[in-house]
Amino acid sequence: MGKNDFLTPKAIANSIKAKGLQKLRWYCQLCQKQCRDENGFKCHQTSESHRRQMEVFGMNPGRVIEGYSEEFEQDFLQHLKQTNQGNRVSAKVVYNEFINDRHHIHMNSTKWLSLTEFVKYLGRTGKCKVDETPKGWFISLIQKDPLKELDDEKRIRRATAEKRDEERHLALLKMQVERARRERAEAGLDEEEDSDDAWDEDGDEEDEENEDRKRDGKEEGEEPKEILDRNDTLSNSKNYDRSRKKQKLNEFHREGGDQPITLNLNLHTLSANAANMTAVPSAVTALKKPVAIFGVDEEDEEEDEEEKRGKSKEKLKGGERERDRERAGGKQRDADRENGRERDGKRDMERDRDNHQSYSSSRDGKRHRDDGDRASPPLSSSRWDKSPAPPSSSISSSPASAPSALRSDTWLSEGLVVKILSKELESAGYYKAKGVVLKVVDRYVAEIEVISTPSGDGQGDVLRVDQRQLETVLPAPGGLCRVVNARYRGLKAEMIRVDVDRFQAQIQIQEGTYRGDRVWLEYEDVCKVL
Ligand SMILES: [Zn+2]
């Protein structure tokens, strides 16, 4: 009998295969591969690609399952909405329709063990009206007014942003009061009446200006306007008003001749350590990156909003107006990402801690980020610990958090210089090693050739690392970089400078329609290229 004759087992198997729908239990969700039978599934499980996927899965199984659950729910509700609107239908019927798509998210990869459980979940969370009958569960979608939903979302965003500002405000105030008190003590004048004189002493004043400068991450030669702007927010502080008056009256003098300017973000221990900071923030840890596998790929939603913001920033060049705009833009962005933060709160805190290393810049204007190993003393409970973490760019997995839609969940591309932050690779000496991305495998995994390691050996090794365990490297000013996410993604650019306070870098775009534009981007969206 020939191999492909009518009704041979082989032919039957082939016809089944062609039909598409097969046993759910032999579907590998991670690889999105349908196997035909148990044997096929076993074979698949031993395959190289499946193992690699399992390794990724093993790094964070909880998140993976949570991700599939979110995606499943989203798709299911979408399907329900499209087919039945708000009508009451049998959950089983909807489910059977839903799984008709061969590559639907399979329920056995979600946190729900059965359809009943899932239906109950929908009822509990107020997404559907559910009721049980002798014929099984029936559901009907509760439809919200999309406009109202959007409004709610905006309101929440604004509220959180305001709260954040306020907290930061208070922290700054407190710091000012603290400093005033300290300086008064240093001057040896404890009597309140004489304190004004103490403020007017030249030495004090220079220190103060120095500190301001350090805090603002400014370089020599910039006009003090920026400082005053920033201080405006503090005008209700009596102490601060005084210091402001002085700033208007006095020029900034540098002490210490040609020594490099050092910056220190560690506000409370500032005066003690200001002199010899060398270490620098590993500002954007891989933790900040969206988790592999899930997230939004679409880049269309809310583009308008993002665009408007972007434009207002780019168009107005020069002068304080631009700066004001940028600050406003930053605030808005902060607000946008507020949503994601709630989910990623914990991760943010971790990243935050990393960020509070110090930053150095030498006099020739050469800035560099360095390994955190040599970092300054651990941070005391500075204002950063109290105020909410800087915004994160978490992935959005539901339409409700669409603002980050311009963002992709992947950022890797060939030629990027990245830093490896994989604890798993620490024993092999690759932790905090730098490498260049040779190619991207499966979108989330980079094949990296190591170019430098903390220990000095291991150069030239090739590793595969998930993007979550990588972070971008910022070039020195003038260096070449590429925008790796969000708006401007993929464009070549030149590094202008960084703002250590906001974790942002200013770059000048070198190609495309935006050529020549200078924009501020998050650290994580800019990466050095070779
Ligand atoms: Zn697989």
> Tens of pLDDT along 496-523?
988 888 888 999 999 888 888 899 888 8
pLDDT > 70 fraction of the chain, expressed in percent and rounded: 56
Q: What is the CATH number of the domain that holds 354?
A: 2.30.30.30
pLDDT of residue 167: 92
- State how far the Cα of 525 lies from the Cα of 404, in Å rounded to an integer: 13
Give tens-digit pLDDT for 267-311: 554 444 444 444 444 444 444 444 444 444 444 444 444 444 444
One domain, residues 327 and 213: no
pLDDT of residue 379: 41
CA of 29 relative to ligand 1 center, distance in Å: 7
CA of 414 relative to ligand 1 center, distance in Å: 26
- State how far the Cα of 266 lies from the Cα of 58, in Å rounded to an integer: 36
Domain annotation covers residue 35 = yes
Domain annotation covers residue 485 = no
- State how far the Cα of 282 lies from the Cα of 355, in Å rounded to an integer: 6
- State how far the Cα of 411 lies from the Cα of 207, in Å rounded to an integer: 42
- State how far the Cα of 84 lies from the Cα of 519, in Å rounded to an integer: 46
Out of 473, 506, 525, pick the residue that ends a domain: 473
Give tens-digit pLDDT for 444-489: 888 889 888 888 888 888 888 888 888 899 898 889 999 998 888 8
| Residue 65 contacts residue 110 (beta carbons within 8 Å) | yes
Range of the domain at 48: 19-141
Beta partners for residue 140, in sequence order: 129
One domain, residues 169 and 238: yes
CA of 54 relative to ligand 1 center, distance in Å: 8
Give tens-digit pLDDT for 29-76: 888 888 878 888 899 999 999 999 888 888 888 888 998 999 999 999
DSSP assignment letter at 378: P
Taking the CB of residue 365, how many other CB atoms lie within 10 A of it? 13
CA of 33 relative to ligand 1 center, distance in Å: 6
pLDDT of residue 102: 74
CA of 86 relative to ligand 1 center, distance in Å: 37
CA of 25 relative to ligand 1 center, distance in Å: 12
One domain, residues 41 and 94: yes
One domain, residues 368 and 419: yes
Give tens-digit pLDDT for 166-176: 999 999 999 99
Q: Is the pLDDT of residue 337 over 70?
A: no
CA of 53 relative to ligand 1 center, distance in Å: 7
One domain, residues 206 and 298: no
CA of 285 relative to ligand 1 center, distance in Å: 29
One domain, residues 82 and 189: no
Please identify which residue in the block is written with the tokens 């109290």.
386
Domain annotation covers residue 85 = yes
Beta partners for residue 200, in sequence order: none
One domain, residues 305 and 163: no
Q: Is the pLDDT of residue 399 over 80?
A: no
One domain, residues 92 and 166: no
Out of 103, 119, 141, pick the residue that ends a domain: 141
Give tens-digit pLDDT for 112-126: 989 999 999 999 988
CA of 49 relative to ligand 1 center, distance in Å: 7
One domain, residues 460 and 410: yes
Q: Is the pLDDT of residue 80 over 60?
A: yes
Out of 255, 278, 303, pick the residue that ends a domain: 255
Domain annotation covers residue 8 = no
CA of 396 relative to ligand 1 center, distance in Å: 25
pLDDT of residue 155: 86
- Between 405 and 493, whose confidence is greater? 493
CA of 108 relative to ligand 1 center, distance in Å: 14
One domain, residues 464 and 331: yes
- Ramachandran quadrant class, 89 (left: phi over 0; alpha: psi -120 to 50; beta: rest): beta
Amino acid at 191: E
At residue 417, the 3 state secondary structure works out as: strand
One domain, residues 330 and 438: yes
CA of 66 relative to ligand 1 center, distance in Å: 18
Domain annotation covers residue 6 = no
CA of 16 relative to ligand 1 center, distance in Å: 20
CA of 447 relative to ligand 1 center, distance in Å: 20
CA of 334 relative to ligand 1 center, distance in Å: 39
Task: For residue 141, give the nearest of 125, 127, 123, 124 by alpha carbon.
Answer: 127
- State how far the Cα of 528 lies from the Cα of 417, in Å rounded to an integer: 5
pLDDT of residue 230: 46
Domain annotation covers residue 503 = no
- Between 350 and 179, whose confidence is greater? 179
pLDDT of residue 21: 62
Average pLDDT on 200-223 reads: 44
Domain annotation covers residue 331 = yes
pLDDT of residue 118: 93
**Taking the alpha carbons of 216, 218, 223, 226 in that order, is the dihedral positive or negative?**
negative
CA of 44 relative to ligand 1 center, distance in Å: 6
CA of 58 relative to ligand 1 center, distance in Å: 13
pLDDT of residue 20: 58
pLDDT of residue 149: 77
Taking the alpha carbons at both ends of the chain, their separation in whole angstroms is 61
Domain annotation covers residue 385 = yes
pLDDT, the chain, mean: 70
One domain, residues 220 and 337: no
Element (H, E) at 480: strand 480-483
Strands (E), 51-157: 89-90, 128-133, 136-141
Residues with Cβ within 8 Å of residue 421, at least 6 apart in sequence: 282, 285, 286, 431, 432, 469, 470, 471
Q: Is the pLDDT of residue 376 over 70?
A: no
CA of 351 relative to ligand 1 center, distance in Å: 32
Instruction: Look at the chain and report how many structural domains it folds into.
Output: 3
- State how far the Cα of 487 lies from the Cα of 62, in Å rounded to an integer: 30
CA of 36 relative to ligand 1 center, distance in Å: 13
| Residue 417 contacts residue 529 (beta carbons within 8 Å) | yes
